[in-house]
Chain A
Amino acid sequence: QVQLQESGPGLVKPSETLSLTCTVSGGSFRLYYWSWIRQPAGKGLEWVGHMQVSGNTNYNPSLKSRVSMSLDTSENQFTLKLTSVTAADTAVYYCARVEGPSYCSRGSCLWYMDVWGKGTTVTVSS
């Protein structure tokens, strides 16, 4: 059974870089997208970005200039870096495995998060 575990500093200073790691156990990296999602306190889920082993990467347009992701298949880990953070980046950050493609229609298919990590809280404060 695949399990995901987020790790990283719980406190980051404004203007610095947030760096998180997701460790995957019990499964392969191949064929999936690997995604980061965040959730500010009391608010909904916001997709940050995702990537595949192939290097195919997409980021949320609102964060694109500050986000980068990488994969280390030898360590079964993928990482998120978010630069120039502000208090608005304070949130619980989740990693997730993205399954697909399924239910294809008119050239478009569904990819969806089928396994989630438990999340890690990141606070941006001096």
Chain B
Amino acid sequence: QLVLTQSPSASASLGASVKLTCTLSSGHSSSAIAWHQQQPQKGPRFLMSLNSDGSHDKGDGIPDRFSGSSSGAERYLTISSLHYEDGADYYCQTWDKGIEVFGRGTKLTVV
């Protein structure tokens, strides 16, 4: 069974960059994922889909500050020039044999 692993929390300074990680479980290192953002008290928003080779497609209106990359079983979301509103929960998501799978999410704090 495919499992997505995310660190529970991350912290970065206003204006800096941060790289969040989503790790695919053993045997699934070629799978693509999607990243979603959930700001406090709001519904999730699709950020991008991300392939194993690092190619990615962003959702409508997602700023250039958001980018994706991959290495082995790890999928990354990099946010540059952090704004306070980037403080949110970030979830990775994928599809495994017709089942949708979410990571547990990373809470990003911008200080």
A residues touching B (Cβ–Cβ < 8 Å)? 35, 37, 44-47, 50, 58, 60-61, 94, 96, 98, 100, 102-103, 105-106, 108-119
Contacts and interface: CB of A to CB of B under 8 A. Distances in A.
Residue from the set B31, B43, B55 with the largest chain A CB neighbour count within 10 Å: B43
A50 B55 CA distance: 27
B100 A98 contact: yes
A13 B95 CA distance: 33
B91 A45 contact: yes
Contacts, number: 86
A110 B94 contact: yes
Nearest to B91: A45
A112 B46 contact: yes
Nearest to B100: A47
A47 B30 contact: no
Contacts of B95: 100, 108-112
Given A37-B100, A110-B33, 18 more contacts: A44-B89, A45-B93, A45-B102, A60-B99, A94-B43, A102-B49, A103-B32, A105-B30, A108-B96, A108-B97, A109-B95, A110-B32, A110-B51, A111-B95, A112-B46, A113-B44, A115-B46, A116-B46
